[in-house]
Amino acid sequence: MKSILQNLLLLFFATISYAQTQKPKIISPEILEDHSVVFRLHAPEANSVGIRGTMNPNFDLIPLVKNDQGIFEVTLGPFESDMYVYTFNVDGVTTVDPSNNVVIRDGSYIESRLFIPGGLTEIYDVKEVPHGKVSTVWYPAKTLDMTRRLTIYTPPGYDQSKKSYPVLYLLHGAGGDEEAWISRGRANYILDNLIAENKVEPMIVVIPNGNFRATSAPGETNLALKLEQDSAVLGAPTSMTGEIIPTSIIEDLIPYVEANYRVKANKENRALAGLSMGGYQTQMTTNLNPNTFDYIGVMSMGLYDMFGNYDEQKHISQIKAIQKANPKLYWIGCGKTDFLYESVVKLRAFYDQQGFNYTYRESEGGHSWNNWRLYLSELTPQLFK
């Protein structure tokens, strides 16, 4: 049996791996016992190789050192157990690590993944617990005049049960799309694990695309590809759009979900949360629709007066309307080194001044998925209780 296996492996290897033949075995990243990590790249013809990654929050380019076999290597860390992303820089060109077959795209950014087991990864690793289902569906978005793609998590047991469920609408940041909260955020496994521990109410999680010009993540349609290539050239995806996305959430998204899934279609059973651009969209949506959501989560986004045409009087009246609607939770989370930290200080000062109640969570770290996964794991236990 072994020879069958070996022969076939050889056979396929010869054909499939046209790009990777005759190279030495390279293991990268190699995680050492103390959670230091060795990064390696076989590049005998290259002059310089560097690495950048989210495990080094200042994003410095750190050089790898070349040995006499043409292998560049560096040992970094130790790092805290968690999931990070990194890229190599080969003679000035940003690349993924060819020895690492896990890449994660976040909007326009394609990076290799580093997973250091233990610690925080326990929140979102795949465990022997019942798993929910993650689906992608296309839905009509009349206010945007397009059919769009969304990701939806239905909790374990949804298909077998006749129950109705509460819904968390979960928004990504600039640079992301309807895949980000699953691929980088691992929202499905966070929910699976917390539901299994009875810490979280079984809920549906709906993840739309927050870029108003896009129908979907890049790669689905040629149209999406073109739009996202435009935005890659611009430097960031499309959508800081005032009322466009909030309108589509209220008029397109929620009606679609409530017509097609077994949901508890009322304020008490609707939550809206988002990170960064999605935090802004969360604020805008709830400012404009104070009676729609009883649970509101704003991650890594503060007062949006930085955007030029801020109208404080309007904001005050909107906040008063939310106050009157009396949501069960208005949650704000931010990291101490987040580049938007000062905007969050201002938002809290503004809310305090208005006598507006909110729950504030300040974490270590910055504007990162490491924080957003953590926030989701802390926010979801507070929903629908």
Residues 238-297 that bind a second copy (CB under 8 A): 240-242, 260, 276-277, 280
Residue 130 vs 357, nearer CB to a second copy? 130
Greatest Cα pair distance in the chain: 76
Residue 363 three-state SS: strand
Rounded (5°) CA angle 53-54-58: 90
Which is nearest to 294 in space by CA: 261, 257, 266? Answer: 266
| Per-residue mark of binding to a second copy, 354-373 (x: CB under 8 A) | -------------x------
Number of residues that bind a second copy (CB under 8 A): 102
Report the C-alpha gap between 283 and 310 in whole angstroms: 13
Q: Print the SS3 string covering 99-135.
A: CCCCEEEECCEEEEEEECCCCCHHHHCCCCCCCCEEE
> Any bridge partners for residue 152, and if so which?
135, 206
Residue 54 vs 377, nearer CB to a second copy? 54
| Binding window for a second copy (CB under 8 A); candidates: 87-95, 246-254, 317-325, 355-363 | 87-95
| Residue 71 near a second copy by CB under 8 A | no
Which position among 73, 74, 138, 358 is part of the footprint of a second copy (CB under 8 A)? Answer: 138
Which position among 34, 69, 233, 324 is part of the footprint of a second copy (CB under 8 A)? Answer: 233
Place of tokens 């997973």: 115
User: Shortest Cβ distance from residue 307 to a second copy (Å)?
Assistant: 4
Which position among 218, 279, 290, 335 is part of the footprint of a second copy (CB under 8 A)? Answer: 218
Which position among 64, 76, 90, 344 is part of the footprint of a second copy (CB under 8 A)? Answer: 90
Coarse DSSP helix, strand, coil percentages of the chain, rounded to the nearest 5 percent? 35, 25, 40
User: Shortest Cβ distance from residue 328 to a second copy (Å)?
Assistant: 30
Which is nearest to 40 in space by CA: 29, 51, 48? Answer: 29
| Residue 74 near a second copy by CB under 8 A | no
User: Shortest Cβ distance from residue 282 to a second copy (Å)?
Assistant: 15
Residues 35-54 that bind a second copy (CB under 8 A): 41-48, 52
Report the C-alpha gap between 108 and 232 in whole angstroms: 6
| Residue 67 near a second copy by CB under 8 A | no
Which position among 32, 234, 345, 349 is part of the footprint of a second copy (CB under 8 A)? Answer: 234
Residue 175 vs 246, nearer CB to a second copy? 175
Report the C-alpha gap between 232 and 271 in whole angstroms: 31
Residue 57 vs 78, nearer CB to a second copy? 57
Q: Dig out the tokens for 58 from the structure.
A: 């200042």
Q: Are 95 and 87 in contact (CB under 8 A)?
A: yes
| Residue 157 near a second copy by CB under 8 A | no
Residues 169-198 that bind a second copy (CB under 8 A): 173-175, 183
Query: Can you say whether residue 91 is alpha, beta or left, with left for phi > 0 and alpha for psi between -120 and 50 degrees?
Result: left
Report the C-alpha gap between 143 and 215 in whole angstroms: 13
| Residue 128 near a second copy by CB under 8 A | yes
| Residue 32 near a second copy by CB under 8 A | no
Which position among 15, 69, 198, 313 is part of the footprint of a second copy (CB under 8 A)? Answer: 15
